[in-house]
Structure 1
Amino acid sequence: PVGIFGSAHDDPALPDPAKTGSLPLADLPYFGAGPALDLDALLAARPDLVVALTYGGGQVYGIDPEAAKHLEEQIPLVVLDVGGGRSLTGIRDRLTALARSLGAGPDPAADAELAAAERRLTAVAAVPVRSRVLALSPAGPDSVHLARPYAWPDLAALAGFGVGLVDPAPGQGANWSTTTWAEAAALEPDLVLTDVRGNAAALGDALGPRIPAFSWNPELPPSAREHARFLTAVAEALEAVRP
């Protein structure tokens, strides 16, 4: 890659390390984020292709509509839909197909690592009494966004492997149910997956010191190796909270 850019939630000056996977950030130009995207700098880098995402509806995620239109007039733009209804496997396969079309070779070691991680998580989750797992994004001292499991491809994948995800009461948003910390604690989770992206607040002791917390990136890089690491980490966290 000749550079990267972020979304409107990101710092316009620095990329979010939680979302960039194994990219060599020290060697990659960062063109800003959201309204602060530096189109002139991006165009000056002379990329052959720009890859962006959408969560449905045709709107490019992280780029203002006018900027996206101007960009598309100058450079070929590939927009991959990662919105509701897309499976984690489907998203990974589409990105893999794009990478192969651009010359990347197969990575059988990463594929084997992913298959092993899937088997391990399935085995760990196959217990008579499943641990209650709650995914959330801290919003501040008074409120928290609780993730709706089937609105997030990675959480839906965990449920498919047998992980006991807590589904909160419906809220105003399709992806999140915003509530108080007291109501979140009342769901009695055994394990919390907490959003570690730069725009999320810190979890701290909002749910008390006795509930184990595991770092969760809702915008998981879509590669076999990154998915294998995520599934392995969830399996290890579940093993640690077993009675």
Structure 2
Amino acid sequence: MREQSAWRFTDDRGRLTTADLRPSRVLAYVQAGATLWDHGIHPEGIFGSGHDGPTPDRAKTGTLALDSVDYRGAGDTLDVETLLRGGPDLVVAVSYGHGQIYGLDPDTAKHLEERVPVVVIDVGQARTMDRVAERFAVLARSLGGVPVPGAAQDLAAARERLRAVTGTAPDGPRVVALSPAGREQAHVARPRMWPELRVLAELGVTLASPVEGVGVNWSTTSWTEAAELRPHIVLTDIRSNATPLDEIDAPAWSAAVREAGTVPWNPEPVCSPQAHARFLGLVADAVEVARGG
């Protein structure tokens, strides 16, 4: 009778990966690597997407110790040999649905899977934030990670605090989530398409939505159109591919947000309890200020 493998994990594509020994040299997409780090798993390397550059985007890396994690690069610079440089025995990737590995050219992903086991966690719009976090937690435990003491309790407390400060009034501070795309336009998020933003809505945050139209996750608008949403709080994309919000000097926008608060937002969030609790805390702080608390 064949003995059961020492390590096994079924990823979000439904693919079972097995190994005689538990993997110990993990290469991960940056979002996955930062999340695993918070669970006590130290990846030997990380890689980015086509939005990233020759150095890691600090908006995405969370608490990763970048002096001890090898950044392989991103986008078109990535090939299989570069990805395998550190001799990983497992690759952890993410997908936005349909099982396609995000951040890698399909041919590169195909050849990578021929050389090393790859597991994929689905972080797409069909998933809840809780489900994504749970899947990362299950993977981390299988790799020897342990829950951070108090992290789950801190997240529960952050949820309750945000629920409390939003109150029950229907006219709470309006929150707009966007990614500045230069001085002429902005990508305004459609809140229902983002797991982390749906959590805010569930906790009572009033999220303003752009008009229906082109764009599944984002609506690309002028800054004048973005100003018409009249935000009290702006969740602004802080990834390196986004224009810093303080560089936007469109008159209509500047007038609309003169009194608005801002919250840094990473649309590729670290999916650990402690990271999510920190984000909810920042939103709660901004809501309190907007309410005059």
Shorter-chain TM-score category?
over 0.9
SS at match of 1:45: coil
Residue deviations 1:172-220, cap 9 Å, x none?
Answer: 2110001110011111111110100010112124421332221111111
Instruction: Give the structure 2 partner of residue 158 of structure 1.
Output: 200
Between the aligned partners of 1:119 and 1:133, the Cα distance in structure 2 is 19
Larger radius of gyration: 2
SS at match of 1:25: coil
- Provide TM-score, normalisation by structure 2: 0.80
| 1:35-114 map, 5 Å | 35-114=76-155
Between the aligned partners of 1:41 and 1:27, the Cα distance in structure 2 is 17
1:157 deviates by 0.7
1:112 deviates by 1.0
Residue deviations 1:126-183, cap 9 Å, x none?
Answer: 1423110000000111111000001111001100111000011123211000111001
Between the aligned partners of 2:270 and 2:79, the Cα distance in structure 1 is 23
Does residue 234 (structure 1) correspond to residue 276 (structure 2)? The answer is no
Q: Which of 124, 142, 166 is equivalent to 2:165?
A: 124
Q: Which of 65, 68, 88 is equivalent to 1:24?
A: 65
Between the aligned partners of 1:120 and 1:210, the Cα distance in structure 2 is 23
Instruction: Give the structure 2 partner of residue 192 of structure 1.
Output: 234
Between the aligned partners of 1:106 and 1:191, the Cα distance in structure 2 is 33
- Provide TM-score, normalisation by structure 1: 0.96
Kept in 1, the 8 Å contact 2:79–2:108? The answer is no
Residue deviations 1:28-81, cap 9 Å, x none?
Answer: 111111211143232131111100011012211000000000110001001111
SS at match of 1:108: coil
SS at match of 1:52: strand
RMSD: 1.2
Between the aligned partners of 1:158 and 1:168, the Cα distance in structure 2 is 17
Unaligned 5+ segments in structure 2 are 1-42
Between the aligned partners of 1:237 and 1:146, the Cα distance in structure 2 is 19
1:119 deviates by 0.7
Kept in 1, the 8 Å contact 2:239–2:266? The answer is yes
Residue type of the alignment partner of 1:188: R
Kept in 1, the 8 Å contact 2:201–2:207? The answer is yes
1:116 deviates by 0.7
Instruction: Give the structure 1 partner of residue 175 of structure 2.
Output: 133
Residue type of the alignment partner of 1:48: D
Q: Percent identity?
A: 53
Between the aligned partners of 1:20 and 1:232, the Cα distance in structure 2 is 19
Between the aligned partners of 2:116 and 2:141, the Cα distance in structure 1 is 20
Residue type of the alignment partner of 1:212: G
